[in-house]
């Protein structure tokens, strides 16, 4: 199995060999830097490139005060030559760009598309020389302008990523707007007051189906896993690569090993451990006061609907078994990484591996996620009568317990 098949990560014409990315650093991450440090990454974001006279003049002023910048008199020629230099890599390339006029963004988008590359809108740069031009982070403050820009760029057919920084405006509203406008990827610098704001990342995951790249302060695989566990489809690294040029390689190897071992590299943390709504798949019957109730309110499901959804979902699958487990069915069982001899003895009996168990839960988690991101429109399958009445009967006794819990809430 190739790495592309192992991860199955595709956005439009871009297919990633793994969910690890180089994040852009102006004046540093060009084709040459990428070839030296990022060949193992599934995605390489180069730039930021300044697409017009105004942004190049701004970059000159920034470099005069010591910042590294890419400055050119012929932006499109530079972009094209950088893309050509990276044409022989099996990583997807994205170009992070800043401009004043929409036309320049569109020209760059056409160029990116010609090279099967992604265009990344730099709505992140907070240097005053750039924000004074109403570019960079200033785009986040003018959501109508950003929306219009996304819609027009998407007409070129390019795969479009939007790079933003957390906590500049309300994160979830911004993410919803970017998705509704038609972007494909949200590259989310989860910058918080002390390192990455993982809660912000999770909240964004919970409101959007965009391909989500989690970024900020990743220096080892543990930090990457924290982001995967909050719903990042991919993680990216900037400063960490300057400190350790082997980091992307190490992260790609570790993520690939995790995917081979578990079948779900970005398995959510349990809800009570800060995971995103996909973690509902690992929740037990909602019989006690815990994080599941808040999550169900977000999803717009009652505990009963949730119970029926889970029961229907596992019927006919090996997860319906589970005599001897806490709730009589592995529909309600914890992540495989949580040691449990009760669940594992059922898995042994029915000869199901941890990876297969996780994959079955993954289908359910994804289904729950789709339900939640459809603006709280509960999935019609919740209301369909079960095809497996017999198994439902076996659940009746457990539902009685559930009934008692509703009346006590
Ligand atoms: C020197 C430097 C230059 C950067 N230039 C850009 C840029 O041009 N465009 C952009 O979107 N982000 C830029 N960033 C932000 C990074 O891509 C990344 O979001 C941020 O550094 C947090 O990730 P990290 O903790 O892995 O460094 C820059 C960061 C640094 C340190
Ligand atoms: S139902 Fe279980 S796993 Fe889910 S939030 Fe409550 S205690 Fe945690
Ligand atoms: S049987 Fe084990 S895995 Fe299943 S719910 Fe109970 S503690 Fe969790």
Name the 3-class secondary structure at 92: strand
Q: Is the peptide bond before 265 cis (omega within 30 degrees of 0)?
A: no
Identify the structural domains of the chain with CATH numbers, from first to last: 3-262 (3.20.20.70), 271-408 (no CATH)
Distance CA 2, CA 29 (A): 28
Residue whose token pair is 């730039």: 47
Ligand 1 binding pocket mutation candidate from 34, 124, 236 (most atoms within 8 A of CB): 124
Please spell the DSSP secondary structure of 242-295, one letter per residue.
Answer: HH-TTHHHHHHHHHHHHHHHHS-TTPPPPGGGT--GGGGGG---S-SSSHHHHH
Tell me, using a 6 A CB cutoff, whether residue 326 lines ligand 2.
Answer: no
- Residues near ligand 1 with C-beta < 6 Å? 23-26, 47-48, 96, 122, 124-125, 163, 189, 215-218, 237-240
Name the 3-class secondary structure at 187: strand
Ligand number nearest to the C-alpha of 98:
1
Ligand number nearest to the C-alpha of 337:
3
Q: Kindly report the CA angle at 277 between 190 and 171, in degrees rounded to 5?
A: 30
Q: How far is CA 159 from CA 14, 15, 82, 86, 118, in A?
A: 8, 11, 18, 18, 5
Q: Kindly report the CA angle at 275 between 193 and 404, in degrees rounded to 5?
A: 130
Tell me, using a 6 A CB cutoff, whether residue 290 lines ligand 2.
Answer: yes
Specify whether the CB–CB gap between 61 and 129 falls below 8 A. Answer: yes
Q: Which mean pLDDT values do the consecutive 10-residue runs of the chain (409 residues) have?
A: 87 98 98 98 98 97 96 96 97 98 97 98 97 97 96 98 97 98 98 96 97 98 98 98 98 97 95 95 91 94 93 93 94 94 96 94 68 37 27 38 41
Q: What is the pLDDT of residue 208?
A: 96
Distance CA 186, CA 194 (A): 22
Nearest-CA residue for atom 6 of ligand 3: 326
Tell me, in angstroms, the distance from the centre of ligand 1 to residue 111's CA.
23
Tell me, in angstroms, the distance from the centre of ligand 2 to residue 385's CA.
26
Q: What is the pLDDT of residue 392?
A: 34
Tell me, using a 6 A CB cutoff, whether residue 340 lines ligand 3.
Answer: yes
Ligand 3 binding pocket mutation candidate from 283, 337, 340 (most atoms within 8 A of CB): 340
Ligand number nearest to the C-alpha of 282:
2
Atom of ligand 1 nearest to the CA of 239: 27
Nearest-CA residue for atom 1 of ligand 3: 325
Distance CA 250, CA 270 (A): 26
Q: How far is CA 372 from CA 208, 233, 240, 365, in A?
A: 9, 17, 34, 10
Ligand number nearest to the C-alpha of 62:
1
355 token code pair:
């990876």
Residue 383 CA, distance from chain mean position = 30
10 token code pair:
């595709």
Q: What is the pLDDT of residue 375?
A: 33
Tell me, in angstroms, the distance from the centre of ligand 2 to residue 386's CA.
25
Specify whether the CB–CB gap between 157 and 181 falls below 8 A. Answer: no
Atom of ligand 1 nearest to the CA of 237: 26
DSSP 328: S
Name the 3-class secondary structure at 375: coil
Nearest-CA residue for atom 5 of ligand 1: 25
Ligand 1 binding pocket mutation candidate from 189, 224, 234 (most atoms within 8 A of CB): 189
Tell me, in angstroms, the distance from the centre of ligand 1 to residue 219's CA.
14
Element (H, E) at 367: helix 354-373
Specify whether the CB–CB gap between 117 and 149 falls below 8 A. Answer: no
């Amino acid at each position: 199995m190739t790495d592309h098949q192992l991860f199955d990560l595709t956005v439009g014409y871009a297919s990633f060999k793994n969910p690890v990315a180089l994040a852009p650093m102006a004046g540093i991450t060009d084709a040459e830097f990428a070839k030296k440090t990022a060949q193992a990454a599934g995605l390489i974001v180069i730039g930021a490139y300044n697409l017009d006279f105004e942004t190049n003049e701004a970059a000159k002023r920034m470099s005069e005060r010591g910042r590294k910048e890419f400055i050119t008199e012929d932006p499109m020629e530079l972009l094209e030559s950088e893309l050509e230099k990276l044409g022989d890599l099996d990583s997807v390339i994205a170009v992070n760009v800043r401009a004043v006029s929409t036309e320049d963004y569109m020209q760059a988008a056409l160029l990116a598309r010609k090279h099967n590359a992604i265009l990344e809108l730099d709505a992140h740069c907070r240097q005053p020389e750039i924000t004074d031009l109403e570019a960079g982070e200033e785009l986040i403050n003018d959501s109508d302008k950003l929306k219009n820009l996304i819609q027009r760029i998407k007409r070129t057919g390019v795969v479009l990523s939007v790079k933003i920084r957390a906590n500049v405006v309300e994160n979830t509203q911004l993410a919803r707007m970017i998705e509704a406008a038609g972007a494909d990827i949200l590259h989310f610098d989860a910058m918080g007051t002390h390192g990455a704001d993982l809660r912000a990342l999770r909240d964004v995951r919970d409101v959007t189906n965009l391909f989500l790249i989690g970024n900020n302060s990743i220096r080892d695989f543990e930090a990457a896993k924290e982001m995967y566990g909050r719903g990042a489809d991919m993680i990216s690294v900037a400063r960490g690569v300057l400190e350790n040029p082997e980091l992307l390689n190490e992260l790609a190897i570790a993520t690939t090993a995790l995917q081979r071992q578990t079948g779900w590299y970005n398995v959510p943390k349990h809800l009570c451990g800060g995971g995103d709504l996909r973690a509902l798949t690992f929740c037990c019957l909602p019989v006690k006061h815990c994080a599941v109730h808040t999550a169900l309110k977000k999803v717009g499901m009652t505990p009963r609907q949730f119970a029926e959804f889970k029961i229907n979902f596992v019927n006919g699958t090996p997860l319906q078994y589970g005599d001897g487990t806490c709730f009589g069915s592995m529909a309600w069982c914890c992540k495989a990484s949580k040691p449990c001899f009760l669940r594992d003895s059922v898995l042994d009996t029915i000869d199901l591996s941890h990876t297969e168990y996780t994959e079955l839960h993954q289908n359910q988690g994804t289904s729950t996620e789709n339900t939640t991101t459809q603006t709280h429109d509960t999935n019609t399958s919740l209301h369909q009568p079960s095809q497996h009445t017999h198994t439902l009967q076996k659940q009746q006794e457990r539902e009685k317990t559930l009934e008692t819990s509703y009346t006590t809430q």
